[in-house]
Structure 1
């Protein structure tokens, strides 16, 4: 008993000792500071125009977005800002801005951290360049003071003087590109080509890209600029502005371009919506765009999140790629088979809307069984549209005398009972001919996916009897020649 009591006292003392040290106040200077996360800021600069819906710029935005989000996945304080480049008052409107923002968020699935809707709350300033003109004016005054900017009397433009920059600073500039290493620019080359100046501000005092972009990066705290390789040619101009203002350098990453078969910038159907209208589902187009310039081009990414999960900027290709329609079509077919029913139907609805098939889209939204029918077939949007039209409003193909005879036999059996499909055994006919006839009766054509499911759909919707009557009328002696 004594040993038990002593053990109790010993344990009690240990507990009290532990509680004493845990609850004792620690001097403020001795408290360990929480480890600060590395802060990284990316920006997606968007002019509210249709050009940002082209697959070339979109692909660069994908790499930019994936880089930002993958850094956050690693535990870093990484954010991406949606910046609105809307300084052209005639072309840029709030409606166009909302349209391009919704395109990236609703259609492509981007989740920006700083947006036109939360910027004032999150960072205390607007992301609309049109609302930041006073800020630009302040930085412009500094360029005037350093004699590298002046107002052109003839045009009223504010211009940057390359020669004066060279005289004050240096002839050779260098940027740090994460993909391409150190890139040098010889500024004297601009002078030899006759380019002595570049514009900073319009005559109406609205800032232009080279000034606004540099100032925004400073005030937003941007650390990384990811953009297409075609923007490499303007990097030297922005660097001249940055150096003149004494601002910290950024890390760049210039992504490869997606060119046509001849190695040129693609023309024609190059907008995202153009491909949707052709029957390419968004997930397939996204997968093709990112994989065609990243890692193993044969990899298929079923979603943007899947691409971000293991993203590594070092796997981005350095060389430009060529657009391959056959490869895109192949990815489209493969992803359609793997999609969830919800994603498949939403992709098909988008296809209908883009092709102005709004009435069919509404019918599909209101009819769950019709959606299940289309999901069971898993065809491309173009093929699914043909199926949808045939199921809802068949246009009967012409038939020959032999098929007409078979169809009439089928109609007799269906008149007796429309609860089950007539079998080849009942009619004493070949299975193929029986099902060809049934397809014609129900959807107006011989070639069609599983007719049993269509039969069940029409029966459950109480449409089977009217479909049989339509087939009778169409199959009459007067309707089609023997």
Structure 2
């Protein structure tokens, strides 16, 4: 890459299932690197595997990227749609002698490898057609293979892994174009990255060996190599490859679990990259700080507790209006009933008391039951236990104090403190039944916040519902 060239990165997932959290992390790194430098971030759907690629998986990728807030430039590119261009490059390499026709059949290749394995040799196929005279070519189906070097080394200067070397004797003459005329993934990736102007290839280190083989195509075509940065994979807490046994692995599952996208971006950025000891940071800070030098060589371990902690911080620090927008999307994702206008208004009034210490939107919705539900609030099991006869009696005696209280936080605190002193009670004896009466739940904001949000009339009405006693 030349100095002054605009940075162009890409994410190129295969649409063969859900969007893996590892793919999301790779997308984020590419997005941060490009956006932080005024560059372009592209999306390519690598749908050449026609048996496994599905429209539903493509839609899942688009939804996952959108939810994470990783907007891409231009239209998403279909790799399959560019098959003609890929074949064009294979034939161009054939013309220059950097590739050759191979007429070996699958049975012949399998037999070669079986013999090599039995003799303890490399099973990399050595085609007898590599140096054959074109005059001897049969009129038969053939693949087009690259003419890989047999001597020396291939070196990849990687921004994460450092200088990585392969002996060329270990590189095979990989197929570029199959005998049915379809291009291979290895060819398609290089042609697409070149044609799309990709300057930096940031991807999982399981692709590191591919970089050596793909570099042969770049060099044969006289194309500049991109800057490579192969990032470590994500492991589960037990140090093994992240899988379903560790919990959710698909991006959309995390949305349905109620994690805010901002928290996911923060956590995924820290998963294999660091900026000093900073744990919590905003998008603006991540865009300013992110650099390839901060990526760790060692695999990162997924930690749900850290994820929840960061997500809680992001919810607490978010604008109320932004949380409300996210809640609407969250409820839609879990196929819950949409919010009514009354419920939205209640949430807006209560948001200041809901977003503190809520680690997920599910927790926030649970705490918001006092503004999402309607009278009469039937208590759940735990709340019902707090409304025993003695506790209901306490609420009945408290009612006149609330009727005459100044409806401010200080006024309410003073009124309840005075009542507690008068009855020789601690707040811990008053709050549980009051919470149960106001919300029908035990997980709520403070009783003072709830009373301030719903107002005097509604507060007294709910206490009357819970006690069966009119305060008039």
Could you state the TM-score of these two structures normalised by the residue count of structure 2? 0.74
Distance 2:288 2:194 in 1: 29
2:47 matches 1:134: no
Query: Aligned residue for 1:89?
Result: 50
2:237 paired residue number: 261
Structure 1 CA distance, aligned partners of 2:231 and 2:292?
A: 10
Q: CA RMSD in A?
A: 3.5
Partner in structure 2 of residue 377 of structure 1: 354
Q: Which of 176, 181, 191 lines up with 2:162 in the alignment?
A: 181
Query: Following TM superposition, by how much is the alpha carbon of 1:236 offset from its aligned partner in structure 2, in angstroms?
Result: 2.2
- CA–CA distance in structure 1, aligned partners of residues 342 and 334 of structure 2: 16
Task: State how many pairs are aligned.
Answer: 411
Distance 1:388 1:171, change over 3 A: same
Shift of 1:60: 2.0
Q: Does 1:248 align with 2:227?
A: no
Q: Does 1:321 align with 2:300?
A: yes
Instruction: Give the counterpart of 1:387 among 367, 383, 386.
Output: 367
Instruction: Tell me the CA shift for residue 431 of structure 1.
Output: 4.6
Alignment of 1:155-304 (within 5 A): 159=143, 161=145, 164-167=147-150, 170-189=151-170, 196=172, 198-201=174-177, 205-268=181-244, 269-296=248-275, 298-304=277-283
Higher-Rg structure is 1
Task: Classify the secondary structure of the residue corresponding to 2:36.
Answer: helix
2:4 maps to 1:40: no
Give, in whole Å, the separation in 2 of the partners of 1:87 and 1:66: 27
Q: What secondary structure is seen at the aligned counterpart in 2 of 1:227? A: strand
Instruction: Name the CA distance, whole Å, in 1 between partners of 2:162 and 2:385.
Output: 71
CA contact (8 A) 2:143 2:178 kept: no
Q: 1:301 and 1:159 mapped to 2: Cα distance?
A: 52
Determine the structure 2 residue equivalent to 1:64. 30
Maintained 8 Å contact 1:42/1:224: yes
Residues of 1 paired with 2:31 and 2:48: CA distance? 24
Task: Check the 8 A contact 1:419/1:459 in 2, yes or no.
Answer: no
Contact 1:108 1:282 in 2 (8 A): yes
CA distance in 2 between counterparts of 1:401 and 1:44 reads 54
Aligned to 1:308: 287
Conserved in 1, the CA contact under 8 Å of 2:349 and 2:453?
A: no
SS across alignment from 1:97: helix
Deviation at 1:212, TM superposition (A): 0.8
Is contact 2:31–2:70 with CA below 8 Å preserved after alignment?
yes
TM-score, normalization: structure 1?
Answer: 0.73
What do residues 62-97 of structure 1 show as CA deviations (whole Å, max 9, x unaligned)? 22222222222xxxxx32322222223344455643
Q: Deviations over 1:193-239 (max 9, x none)?
A: xxx55444456644332111111122223222111112112112212
Show the counterpart of 1:148: 100
Quick check: 1:101 aligned with 2:62? yes
* Residue of structure 1 aligned with 2:392, choices 407, 428, 433: 407
**Deviation sequence 1:227-254 (CA, Å, 0-9, x none):** 1112112112212333333433222111
- Distance verdict in 2 for CA 1:450–1:134, change over 3 Å: same
- 1:79 maps to which of 40, 62, 84: 40
1:311 deviates by 2.6
Query: Secondary structure, in 3 states, of the residue corresponding to 2:148?
Result: helix
Alignment-derived partner of residue 21 in structure 2? 55
User: For the structure 1 residues 452 and 161, does the alpha-carbon distance in structure 2 shift closer, same or farther, using more than 3 Å as the test?
Assistant: same
Is residue 335 from structure 1 mapped to residue 320 from structure 2 by the alignment? no
Secondary structure at 2:48's aligned position in 1? Answer: coil
Q: Which among 466, 469, 472 is matched to residue 471 of structure 1?
A: 466
In 2, Cα distance between the equivalents of 1:178 and 1:42? 14
